[in-house]
Amino acid sequence: MISIYDITKKFGKLEALRHINLVWQAGHAYGLIGPNGSGKTTLIKCILGLVIPGTGTIQVDGEPTSVSEQYRRKIGYMPQLGRYPDNMTVGQVIDMMKAIRPDTAVHDEDLLRAFELPTLSHKRMRTLSGGTRQKVSAALAFLFSPAILILDEPTAGLDPIASELLKEKIIHEKEKGKLIVITSHILSDLDELITDIVYLQEGRVHYQNTINHLKQHTGESRLNKAIAHIMRMPEVINVSSSTA
């Protein structure tokens, strides 16, 4: 569903992404992990068209992202730090998003209800706490039942209950055969959610494989230990994940 061919991005002298090649398929949940500044968010922003890559192409369902913005109909995005117009209320933001994407008639309001956002609909965005904003971001990402969900640090800042609700929703959507991309530093959260792992380091794909292969390969049963193992590996191992 998402194919990334030879993406390179420089910010001045800093090479944020170096020759990234990835193919992501529906029904998989990819955990995009790596140290701070390894290029995770930049890669996500390239897919969303917020950052224009220096070289290479990205295709979503075979459509190059540089040609038309319509591919974004298929994507729901939850940013790391959701920023919203301060003066608008929660209800206005949700109504505005519905008005901007009028082609989706039936909205998936599961999370909206689970997070009890309708009770806050008259509150202005500026008065919300960081965690409540994250709830709004999460609810908006799932609102249009998109085929692709891109979640940047989804559980950071959420309370344990909200975090569990969100994880249940992610698993539910994954089982429906959607493509899910998650970045997170909380590896214990990822363990239950993801099927595949993509490890970025210094703008390169350092490791890519299914979780099962990773655990076999490293001989560790827990994700954080397995990740610690690949972090110590000096050589770049890039195994295709096409065999799930």
215 lines the binding site for another protein (CB under 8 A):
no
Q: Locate 188 and state its tokens.
A: 């214990």
Asked if residue 76 lies in contact with residue 152, where contact means CB atoms within 8 angstroms, the answer is: no
> Near another protein by CB under 8 A, which window of 20-28, 77-85, 115-123, 207-215?
77-85
The residue count of the chain comes to: 244
- Answer for which of 55, 70, 127, 216 binds another protein (CB under 8 A) is 70
Q: Residue from 48, 120, 156, 231 that binds another protein (CB under 8 A)?
A: 48
167 binds another protein (CB under 8 A): no
Minimum CB distance to another protein smaller for 85 or for 177: 85
Torsion sign across C-alpha atoms 183, 184, 187, 189: negative
Task: Pick the closer one to another protein by CB: 52 or 161.
Answer: 52
Is 142 a binder of another protein (CB under 8 A)? no
Pick the binder of another protein from 64, 85, 130, 177 (CB under 8 A). Answer: 85
Cα–Cα distance for residue pair 190/101, rounded to 1 Å: 30
| Interaction between residue 72 and another protein (CB under 8 A) | yes
Neighbour tally for 83: CB within 10 Å: 9
Mapped onto helix, strand or coil, the DSSP state of residue 55 is strand
Binds another protein (CB under 8 A): choice among 3, 8, 91, 101:
101
1 closest CA partner among 132, 149, 130, 133:
149
Burial 15-33 (b: 16+ CB within 10 A, else e): bbbeebebebeeebbbbbb
- The reply on whether position 69 binds another protein by CB under 8 A is yes
Q: Is residue 13 at the binding interface for another protein, with CB under 8 A as the rule?
A: no
Q: Which residues bind another protein (CB under 8 A)?
A: 11, 45, 48-52, 69-73, 75, 77, 79, 83-88, 96-97, 99-101
